[in-house]
Amino acid sequence: MKNLSTKLFCIILFPCFIFAQNEISKDSVLIENLLEVVLTSNRLEVPFNQKSKTVQLITAEQIHQSGITHLVDILQQVAGVDIKRRGAGAAQADLNIRGGTFDQTLLLIDGIKLDDSQTGHHTLNFLPPTEMVERIEIIKGPAARAYGQNAFTGAINIVTKKEIPDRFSINLQMGNYDQTNGSILFGDVSKKNNLIGFISKNTSDGYRYNSDYDQSNFFIKSTFNQSKRPIDLITSFSGRKFGANGFYATPSAIDQYEETQASLVALSQRYIKGRIIFKPKAYWRRGQDMYEYIRNKPEIYRNLHITNKIGGSLDTSIESNFGLTGMGIDISRVDIRSNNLGNRNRMMMNFFLEHRFYFLNNKIDVTPGIATNYFSDFGWHSFPGIDIGIQINSKLRFYGNLGSTYRIPTFTDLFYSDRTTMGNSGLKPEEAYSSEAGIRFSSPNVEMSLAYFNRKSENLIDFVKTNEEDLWKAENIQQIKTRGIDFELLHTIKFNYLIHRFKISYSYLENELENSKFNFSRYSINNDLRHHFVYSYSLPITKKLNFFIVYKYIERYLEDSYNLLDISARCSLNAFELSFYFNNVFNTEYWESNLVPMPKGNGLIGLSYSF
């Protein structure tokens, strides 16, 4: 396998060196100029190439060219972002950044925070369909200063489209394991209002015993009052029913079953008055999780959790002769009704303030800031930080940041109980101190970033045990030091009037657990990515035919390394588009979480029609 991987890797890289010999003409520029993108993932809106954090972007065109059917797959193509799936079809997957856990990474949609007070296991249920995404903003490192808790190791903000041309599209995909994906996409644009929507149904009999799934989704976005002060309304729902063979218990527990629901209603606005930007938001988030240890036998063991979060926020950005000031407030209430965790609620308030100073003709910028949070069950917490940027010239930038962050326990951490697992109502909040130094090079044809990061975590919450026969119990394990590097290179070349994109990304992670008396850890240290290398190549054959190749090398702590290759293609034929996606060409045997084996080689063939 190693020889095969090496040969294939060389074959994939070979075109880079061929195309690199061609002189790049002045009109050979990135179709979507990332340098002009203004990031909305922070309360201070600054251009992408002026950020003093490690931020990576994925555009709508890149998503379309990749041929993927779910955003989980595109996020797996970013080194340092660890998506731990349990089975096929993205039925259940955990989001992790830089060695954090699924409870330490925050997901946002258009700036709406989608943290889950029950558990982060179901955060990715809220991901919108790929067809509705304008871009993805990935913030690596602590983002709690901007968003509050749950942005412990990073955050991902999904920016959805405001409009698509008037159209109606029907898409059908079929593949191995009786996979059937059907969807409808529609858009309506007028001078006053816009409406875009997506409805889908995905089913499969499963690639092994009790791994079937049935998923229903809709996502609708409306924009009202466009001629004056536009208001965006999002309504979405995701319902999933799936066999959970070995998902949470031991691999021998093969008859588990789960149903989840994720609903969101959100109103948001962005308007400018003079040199002030106002961004008010109001939202309701609902989650439901039903789990059976033995499928169709709830009398043996069954959990049912229903969570609701209602909140509102106001972010303000003020530009003045003294720099750029950002401030905001976020107030929300969460409650849970559960036959296992009980009926509980929590009030939360987050206050935020930061200011960006400019020196030496804007060559140096310094941004100190602080966030203060209040929790009705854990009191007040504050975390300051500072970002520093040095703009050497229009293309080259050095940056660094320091900050503290924390996370309060979820209701699962505090109160969960079954025959193998026990919560701990005496848990303390997690705390961490992080630092980062990096360099970014930005030009129309080349984007490059390299960063070194260091994080010292205290009171880290994990389910641990000393002996194999003991119960998993939530504990504040003492300290973990995490350090590593992130590297990304995106090269765009115009060759024979076609745009080729090569992307290489790599992350290295090292964990050091200090003074631990526990021999087994469920989440924090046993399954993190150590080496994560991703290579992707967008290969256009003609203007209407495009191939996309992704190669991944992955090595986790205490596990063997493995190689994965995915290939996709899209061919446009007027109103029709034919698509092909083949996953795990190497037929590799591997798992990402809890010893759940992932599918071997499998594929999807799709056809869409637009009118």
d(CA 234, CA 221): 5
Q: What percent of the chain has pLDDT over 70?
A: 92
Say yes or no to pLDDT of 149 above 90: no
Q: What percent of the chain has pLDDT over 90?
A: 67
Say yes or no to pLDDT of 428 above 70: yes
**Average per-residue pLDDT in the chain?**
89
With 0.95 as the threshold, say if the pTM is over it: no
Residue range 559-563: mean pLDDT, rounded: 91
Confidence at residue 88, expressed as pLDDT on a 0 to 100 scale: 85
- Cβ neighbours for 375, distance < 8 A, ≥ 6 positions apart: 346, 347, 348, 381, 408
Say yes or no to pLDDT of 137 above 50: yes
The gap from C-alpha 172 to its chain's centroid, in whole angstroms, comes to: 26
pLDDT tens-digit readout, 170-197:
999 999 999 999 999 999 988 888 999 9
Confidence at residue 24, expressed as pLDDT on a 0 to 100 scale: 41
Element (H, E) at 556: strand 545-556
Residue range 278-284: mean pLDDT, rounded: 96
Residue range 349-353: mean pLDDT, rounded: 92
Residue range 297-306: mean pLDDT, rounded: 96
pLDDT tens-digit readout, 373-394:
999 999 998 889 999 999 999 9
For residue 436, what pLDDT band results from cuts at 50, 70 and 90?
Answer: very high
d(CA 187, CA 338): 39
For residue 511, what pLDDT band results from cuts at 50, 70 and 90?
Answer: confident
Residue range 401-408: mean pLDDT, rounded: 90
Residue range 314-331: mean pLDDT, rounded: 92
Check: CB of residue 275 under 8 Å from CB of residue 257. no
For residue 12, what pLDDT band results from cuts at 50, 70 and 90?
Answer: very low
For residue 144, what pLDDT band results from cuts at 50, 70 and 90?
Answer: low
> 353: which strand partners?
327, 370
d(CA 314, CA 312): 7
For residue 41, what pLDDT band results from cuts at 50, 70 and 90?
Answer: low
Confidence at residue 375, expressed as pLDDT on a 0 to 100 scale: 95
Say yes or no to pLDDT of 34 above 80: no
Which has more pLDDT, 558 or 590? Answer: 590
Say yes or no to pLDDT of 7 above 50: no
Confidence at residue 2, expressed as pLDDT on a 0 to 100 scale: 44
Q: Using only C-alpha atoms, what is the Rg of the chain?
A: 23
Check: CB of residue 215 under 8 Å from CB of residue 125. no
Domain ranges of the chain: 2-610
DSSP per position, 422-484: E--TTPPPEEEEEEEEEEEEE-SSEEEEEEEEEEEEEEEEEEEESSTTSPEEEEEEEEEEEEE
Please give the structure tokens belonging to residue 63.
């998503």
Confidence at residue 219, expressed as pLDDT on a 0 to 100 scale: 97
For residue 36, what pLDDT band results from cuts at 50, 70 and 90?
Answer: low
Confidence at residue 33, expressed as pLDDT on a 0 to 100 scale: 56
Residue range 199-219: mean pLDDT, rounded: 96
Check: CB of residue 102 under 8 Å from CB of residue 583. no
For residue 43, what pLDDT band results from cuts at 50, 70 and 90?
Answer: low
Residue range 27-42: mean pLDDT, rounded: 55
Confidence at residue 513, expressed as pLDDT on a 0 to 100 scale: 76
Confidence at residue 164, expressed as pLDDT on a 0 to 100 scale: 87
Residue 262 dihedral angles phi and psi, to the nearest 5° = -135, 120
Confidence at residue 310, expressed as pLDDT on a 0 to 100 scale: 97
Confidence at residue 31, expressed as pLDDT on a 0 to 100 scale: 40
For residue 221, what pLDDT band results from cuts at 50, 70 and 90?
Answer: very high
Residue range 195-211: mean pLDDT, rounded: 96
Per DSSP, the three-state class of 334 is strand
Say yes or no to pLDDT of 478 above 80: no
d(CA 51, CA 37): 11
For residue 222, what pLDDT band results from cuts at 50, 70 and 90?
Answer: very high
| CATH for the stretch 2-610 | 2.40.170.20
Confidence at residue 351, expressed as pLDDT on a 0 to 100 scale: 92
138 vs 350, 534, 546, CA distance in Å? 22, 16, 26
Say yes or no to pLDDT of 579 above 50: yes
For residue 95, what pLDDT band results from cuts at 50, 70 and 90?
Answer: very high
The one-character DSSP state at 132 is: G
